[in-house]
């Protein structure tokens, strides 16, 4: 087991190193950041001074060396545009993104499992068919389009909910949160639904497939024979049996929801990390782009590493299988 952990850890570190090189070189290759930092009427001397100050006159490998060294010390550099440390900038935007992602994942899980279990118990009712239709829609319609329709319907036509921004926030532990105020809550409803829709569709499908399988199993047959009411069977037995694959997928999807938040945040002008990165790409704010990509890569490597370890703990075949290969 220890060998397996070490092997996986080395692999994770290698992936991170490769990713940081790719990201650094890739971001370096686009545009000339000097043009956005200094005014167009600057003299040649001012230009060269700016290039030197930003370290852009050094060879590429040396820039990477400095970058990697700083990275290992938790220093992601300063934003060219905002002139504040990048980590501070991203950290300031992170609560908004986390708030949005967590609320929509929670919404997707609770609603998705409820609808999916219903569709699994009564596969032939018209409501189940409507639910499955909804899930097909959630899979194939691009999420930015759903966001537009939500805005058009609930913000423009009906005027029930605001179309963008975070609304009022309450500061707890020095961090502003939207979901604690009524106004903030009304701002989060539409983006959360938008972000949740894809996960919702997936949860419905998984829960329905699991429920249909479990409902035919001996467990349910004997529980019914013992005279346990149907509702109790569902809550106590079916839900427990279908939860294992659901939790796995739920964990894996956490990362991809963060990625999809880029789209949702842009549509609803939600001031999170995703909006920051899109804006930074627009103005070629290199340090912000690099830091975001490295952090996202790190997050995914960590998620995969954890999933590998958990699976290896549960299923010893994976451990021995890897050693044999």
Partner 1 sequence: MTDISPPQKATPPLLLFWREFRRNRVAAVALGLTVLLVFVAVFAPLIAPQDPYDLGALSLMDARRPPGFTGSGGYTHILGTDPQGRDLLSAILYGLRISIEIGIMAGAIALAIGATLGVVAAYLGGWVESLIMRIVDLQLSFPAILLALVLSALLGQGKAQLVTALVAAQYAYFARTAYGAATSERRKDYIEAALATPLHARRVVFKHLLPNCAPPLIVVATVQIASSISLEATLSFLGLGLPVTEPSLGMLISNGFPYMMSGRYWISVYPGVMLILLIMAINIVGDQIRDQLNPRLRR
163 part of the interface to partner 1, by CB under 8 A = yes
CA dihedral for 248, 254, 255, 259, sign (positive or negative): positive
103 part of the interface to partner 1, by CB under 8 A = no
Q: Are 112 and 182 in contact (CB under 8 A)?
A: no
151 part of the interface to partner 1, by CB under 8 A = yes
- Rounded distance, CA 55 to CA 34, Å? 11
Residue among 44 and 157 whose Cβ is closer to partner 1:
157
- Rounded distance, CA 296 to CA 89, Å? 15
311 part of the interface to partner 1, by CB under 8 A = no
> How far from chain centre, in Å, is Cα 94?
11
Contact map string, positions 14 to 33, toward partner 1, x by CB under 8 A: -x-------x--xx-xxx--
| Helix or strand holding residue 161 (H, E) | none
* Helix/strand/coil percent split, the chain, to 5: 75, 0, 20
- Rounded distance, CA 179 to CA 126, Å? 35
Contact map string, positions 45 to 84, toward partner 1, x by CB under 8 A: ----------------------------------------
Residue among 29 and 45 whose Cβ is closer to partner 1:
29
| Helix or strand holding residue 172 (H, E) | strand 170-172
100 part of the interface to partner 1, by CB under 8 A = no
Contact map string, positions 238 to 257, toward partner 1, x by CB under 8 A: -----------------xx-
Residues 6+ apart with CB under 8 A from 155: 161, 162, 163, 190
170 part of the interface to partner 1, by CB under 8 A = no
Residue among 4 and 300 whose Cβ is closer to partner 1:
300
CB of 141 to partner 1, least distance (A): 6
Residue among 67 and 177 whose Cβ is closer to partner 1:
67
Distances, alpha carbon 124 to alpha carbons 128, 132, 190, 235, 244, in Å: 7, 11, 31, 21, 26
- Mapped onto helix, strand or coil, the DSSP state of residue 78 is strand
**Interface with partner 1 (CB under 8 A), residue from 152, 216, 232, 314:** 152
108 part of the interface to partner 1, by CB under 8 A = no
Interacting span for partner 1 (CB under 8 A) from 38-46, 188-196, 261-269, 309-317:
261-269
Q: Are 199 and 102 in contact (CB under 8 A)?
A: no
Q: By the criterion CB under 8 A, which residues form the site for partner 1?
A: 15, 23, 26-27, 29-31, 139-145, 148-149, 151-152, 155-156, 163, 255-256, 259-260, 262-263, 266-267, 278, 281-282, 289, 293, 296, 300, 303-304, 325
């Amino acid at each position: 087991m220890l060998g397996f952990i070490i092997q996986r850890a080395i692999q994770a570190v290698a992936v991170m190193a490769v990713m940081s090189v790719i990201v650094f070189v890739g971001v370096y290759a686009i545009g000339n950041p000097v043009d956005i930092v200094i005014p167009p009427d600057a003299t040649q001397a001012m230009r060269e001074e700016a290039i030197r100050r930003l370290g852009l006159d050094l060879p590429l490998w040396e820039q990477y060396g400095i970058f990697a060294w700083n990275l290992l010390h938790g220093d992601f550099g300063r934003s060219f545009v905002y002139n504040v440390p990048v980590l501070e900038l991203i950290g300031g935007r992170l609560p908004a993104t986390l708030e949005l992602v967590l609320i929509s994942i929670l919404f997707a899980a609770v609603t998705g499992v409820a609808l999916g279990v219903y569709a699994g118990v009564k596969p032939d009712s018209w409501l189940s068919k409507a639910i499955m239709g909804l899930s097909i829609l959630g899979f194939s319609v691009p999420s930015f389009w759903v966001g537009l329709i939500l805005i058009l319907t609930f913000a423009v036509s009906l005027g029930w909910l605001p179309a963008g921004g975070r609304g009022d926030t309450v500061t707890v532990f020095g961090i502003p949160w939207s979901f604690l105020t009524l106004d903030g809550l009304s701002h989060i409803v539409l983006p959360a639904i938008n972000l949740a829709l894809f996960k919702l569709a997936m949860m419905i499908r998984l829960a329905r497939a699991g429920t249909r399988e479990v409902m035919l199993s001996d467990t349910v047959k004997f529980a019914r024979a013992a005279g346990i009411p149907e509702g109790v069977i569902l809550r106590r037995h079916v839900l427990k049996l279908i939860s294992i694959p659901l939790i796995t997928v739920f964990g894996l999807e956490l990362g991809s929801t963060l990625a999809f938040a880029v789209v949702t945040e842009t549509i609803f002008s939600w001031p999170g990390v995703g909006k920051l990165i899109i804006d930074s790409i627009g103005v070629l704010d290199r340090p912000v782009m690099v830091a975001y990509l490295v952090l996202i890569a790190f997050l995914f490597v960590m998620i995969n590493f954890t999933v590998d370890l958990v699976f290896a703990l549960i299923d010893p075949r994976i451990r021995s299988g890897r050693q044999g290969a």
